[in-house]
């Protein structure tokens, strides 16, 4: 694994970095960008190199200010508890909220369309984080539709949940960037890509890989997490 200092240097320069959670959790690697650097080229890379679901990550507190709920809460309110009561092997509640499209897209799924949706979501996130909550909410409700092709994930924070959603958000805090990332699982033929192969991929792409342990330890030690 690479040092966190090196990882942050790559992350803040717009390069994709890779995050490995742990053998005891999903045992998966995600490809991660800070959301401010997303263009259609980064979506193409996430789609063709990583291959997993491309998601937009925000902190839970940003979601709350936008009036969002976790998808399991929405489904429970609709009387679908029998679907939401089950858990995957690692046991955590899912981080999914709404799936959205920006109103200016054509179909929502192309690299250009998803990049546009994400760039507009980032504008909303920046407004909320900077305290312009009314403006952020207005832009969100006027500019987006749901369901769409970009799933929003809400981070519960690294002290409550240690998935790639929370790990990537913690990385933004350590980097002192607006807390918004775009992530996708790295897949291999048939299964998730093993860590050994993901390390080779990171080296091939001239980028870096970091473990959950390194992020968590740095975050806990950080004076202003």
Beta strands at 96-102 and 144-155: parallel, antiparallel or unpaired: antiparallel
Concerning whether 2 is annotated as a catalytic residue, the answer is no
- Per the prediction, the chain carries an average pLDDT of 94
The one catalytic residue among 26, 33, 34, 101: 101
Is the pLDDT confidence value at 225 over 60?
no
Give pLDDT, residue 22: 76
The one catalytic residue among 26, 72, 185, 214: 185
- Of 225 and 48, more confident: 48
pTM, two decimal places: 0.95
Q: Give, in degrees to the nearest 5, the angle at Cα 17 between 220 and 207.
A: 125
The one catalytic residue among 21, 30, 42, 214: 30
Cα(13)–Cα(7) distance, integer angstroms: 10
Torsion angle (degrees, nearest 10) of CA 20, 210, 153, 102: -120
Is the pLDDT confidence value at 215 over 80?
yes
Q: What is the pLDDT of residues 131-165, one digit of tens each?
A: 999 999 999 999 999 999 999 999 998 888 878 99
Mean pLDDT of 200-223: 92
Q: Are 120 and 40 in contact (CB under 8 A)?
A: no
Give pLDDT, residue 88: 83
Is the pLDDT confidence value at 127 over 90?
yes
Q: What is the pLDDT of residues 26-74, one digit of tens each?
A: 789 999 999 999 999 999 999 999 999 999 999 999 999 999 999 999 9
What percentage of the chain exceeds 70 in pLDDT?
97
Report CA-CA distances (Å) from 16 to 33, 203, 207: 5, 12, 7
Give pLDDT, residue 113: 98
Give pLDDT, residue 2: 61
Concerning whether 185 is annotated as a catalytic residue, the answer is yes
The one catalytic residue among 40, 44, 90, 132: 90
Report CA-CA distances (Å) from 148 to 10, 33, 40, 108, 110: 31, 21, 17, 7, 12
The one catalytic residue among 44, 76, 126, 149: 149
What percentage of the chain exceeds 90 in pLDDT?
85
The one catalytic residue among 21, 34, 55, 214: 55
Q: Is 222 left (phi over 0), alpha (psi -120 to 50) or beta?
A: beta
Q: What is the DSSP letter of 51?
A: B
Concerning whether 206 is annotated as a catalytic residue, the answer is no
Domains and CATH numbers, the chain: 4-218 (3.90.870.10)
Is the pLDDT confidence value at 99 over 70?
yes
Concerning whether 188 is annotated as a catalytic residue, the answer is no
């Amino acid at each position: 694994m690479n040092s966190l200092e090196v990882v942050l240097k790559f992350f803040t320069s717009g390069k994709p970095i890779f995050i490995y959670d742990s053998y005891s959790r999903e045992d998966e690697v995600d490809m991660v960008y800070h959301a401010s650097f997303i263009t259609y080229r980064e979506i193409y890379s996430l789609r063709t190199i990583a291959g997993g679901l491309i998601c937009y990550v925000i902190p839970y507190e940003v979601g709350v200010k936008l009036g969002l709920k976790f998808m399991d809460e929405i489904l429970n309110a609709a009387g679908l508890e029998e679907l939401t009561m089950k858990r995957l092997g690692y046991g955590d509640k899912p981080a999914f909220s709404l799936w959205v499209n920006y109103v200016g897209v054509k179909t929502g799924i192309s690299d250009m369309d998803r990049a546009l949706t994400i760039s507009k979501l980032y504008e909303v996130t920046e407004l909320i984080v900077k305290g312009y909550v009314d403006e952020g909410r207005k832009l969100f409700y006027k500019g987006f539709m749901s369901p769409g092709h970009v799933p929003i994930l809400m981070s519960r924070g690294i002290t409550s949940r240690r998935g790639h959603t929370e790990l990537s958000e913690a990385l933004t805090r350590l980097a002192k960037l607006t807390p918004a990332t775009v992530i996708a699982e790295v897949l291999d033929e048939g299964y998730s890509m093993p860590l050994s192969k993901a390390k080779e991929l990171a080296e091939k792409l001239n980028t870096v890989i970091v473990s959950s342990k390194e992020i968590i330890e740095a975050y806990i030690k950080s004076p202003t997490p």
